């Protein structure tokens, strides 16, 4: 091929990117990111822009000064004073942020939320290849000391309660023979018994990835997950849906008439089949069934995942087998569930008992 025949207008410069390439890059970056992550990033950046506008009376621009990030931290982190816990966000600005829908309620945000907001702003600077104030030594030290201050006060993140075997059975007993009841029973068992699926994995579960291996027995291929975002083909992608879970899934598919697309759908008024569910919809099902069963506690969709891991620890399922189903890659994370349960079974706690 004669390279000299290429028109000059089509030749690119190797050291720069044109607008078309930059746009294509952004499309790929967005498509490769999870929807939940994108939504959390957008919410965090909207909050930053609203806070900046109210605090400084102008439009936010990157890079931010280091002083601005330090101000964001002290505005939102509580510190102990002679008058008790205080933060520096003015009341009128706090009320305006709530009124504008940027905050859920008046008062300081949780420490985990603060850290997430800083991380998102750091990512925004990184993506734009501009100086990153979040990496400044003052910011890093302030965040480190803030975390320690919260820990000293016992203000630690609270994990959602685990739905182990017995409370899960109580939830299942609330599922009647209506279309909604059949869906909820199949959904709860699918999420729990296949290894504690995340709510996004349940909402996006597709018949295309479901393979029948026997009467009311299936294997679900989880090709994409939080710990396998590149879609690597590996044995751990295969998740069994057997026993009660397989039977409930078969009942749901027969009753709903679903033959392609998403496995779990919304149920409309009148008991009619609707469209796609959201991850929040999975959480709502868990919480609604907990209320019907009279189970008290702070439960969410993640309770199915933590409940599966906790129950596996109770029943002495080998750690490797548990992790193969859950998809966890961190042994300390899984062991945290095991140890939280085993502490009450520790014989050393009963040395004074006969």
Give the model's pLDDT for residue 315. 83
Topology given in CATH for the domain delimited by 165-345: hpI Integrase; Chain A (1.10.443)
Q: Distance between CA 141 and CA 75 in Å, rounded?
A: 16
> How far apart are the two ends of the chain, measured CA to CA in Å?
90
**Residue ranges covered by each domain of the chain:** 33-152, 165-345
Q: Which three-class secondary structure state does DSSP give residue 279?
A: helix
| 295 in Cβ contact with 173 (< 8 Å) | no
What DSSP character marks residue 57?
A: S
**Distance from the Cα of residue 293 to its chain's centroid:** 25
Print pLDDT tens along the chain (354 aa). Answer: 555 555 555 667 777 777 787 778 777 766 666 666 778 888 999 999 999 999 999 999 999 999 999 999 999 998 888 888 888 899 999 999 999 999 888 988 889 899 999 999 999 999 888 999 999 999 999 999 999 998 888 876 666 788 889 999 999 999 999 999 999 999 999 999 999 899 989 999 999 999 999 899 999 998 765 555 555 667 678 899 999 999 999 999 999 999 999 999 999 988 889 999 988 899 999 999 999 999 888 888 989 998 998 888 888 888 888 888 888 877 877 777 665 555 666 667 677 776
Give the model's pLDDT for residue 172. 95
Q: Residue 311: which H helix or E strand, with range?
A: helix 302-314
Q: Which three-class secondary structure state does DSSP give residue 84?
A: strand
* Closest alpha carbon to 63 in 73, 52, 55, 54: 52
Q: Which residues pair with 240 in a beta bridge?
A: 219
Task: Give me the CATH code for the 33-152 domain, please.
Answer: 1.10.150.130
Q: DSSP string of 122-143?
A: HHHHHHTT---GGGSHHHHHHH
Angle of CA points 287, 289, 293, to nearest 5°:
115
Give the model's pLDDT for residue 189. 96
pTM of the shown model: 0.64
What DSSP character marks residue 346?
A: -
- Structure-block tokens of residue 225: 């997950």
- Structure-block tokens of residue 9: 């207008």
């Amino acid at each position: 091929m004669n390279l000299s025949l290429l028109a000059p207008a089509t030749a690119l410069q190797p050291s720069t990117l044109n607008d078309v390439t930059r746009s294509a890059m952004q499309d790929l970056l967005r498509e490769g990111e999870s929807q939940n992550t994108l939504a959390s990033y957008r919410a965090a950046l909207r909050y930053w822009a609203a806070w900046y506008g109210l605090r400084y009376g102008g439009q936010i621009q990157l890079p931010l000064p280091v002083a601005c990030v330090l101000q964001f931290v002290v505005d939102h982190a509580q510190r102990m004073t002679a008058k008790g816990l205080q933060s520096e966000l003015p009341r009128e600005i706090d009320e305006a942020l709530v009124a504008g829908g940027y905050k859920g309620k008046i008062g300081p945000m949780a420490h985990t939320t603060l850290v997430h907001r800083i991380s998102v702003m750091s990512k925004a600077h990184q993506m734009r290849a501009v100086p990153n104030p979040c990496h400044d030594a003052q910011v890093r030290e302030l965040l480190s000391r803030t975390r320690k201050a919260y820990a000293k006060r016992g203000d630690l993140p609270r994990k959602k309660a685990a739905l182990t075997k017995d409370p899960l059975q109580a939830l299942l007993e609330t599922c009647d023979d209506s279309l909604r009841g059949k869906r909820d029973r199949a959904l709860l068992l699918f999420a729990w018994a296949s290894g504690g699926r995340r709510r996004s994995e349940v909402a996006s579960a597709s018949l295309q990835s479901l393979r029948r291996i026997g009467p009311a027995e299936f294997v679900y291929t989880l090709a994409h997950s939080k710990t396998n975002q590149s879609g690597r083909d590996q044995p751990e992608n295969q998740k069994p849906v057997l026993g009660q879970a397989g039977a409930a899934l078969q009942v749901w598919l027969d009753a709903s008439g679903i033959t392609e697309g998403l496995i779990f759908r919304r149920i409309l008024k009148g008991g009619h089949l609707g469209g796609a569910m959201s991850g929040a919809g999975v959480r709502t099902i868990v919480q609604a069934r907990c209320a019907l069963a009279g189970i008290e506690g702070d439960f969410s969709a993640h309770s199915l995942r933590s409940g599966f891991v906790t129950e596996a620890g109770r029943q002495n399922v080998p750690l490797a087998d548990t992790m193969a189903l859950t998809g966890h890659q961190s042994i300390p994370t899984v062991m945290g569930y095991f140890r939280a349960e085993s502490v009450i079974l520790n014989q050393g706690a009963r040395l004074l008992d006969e």
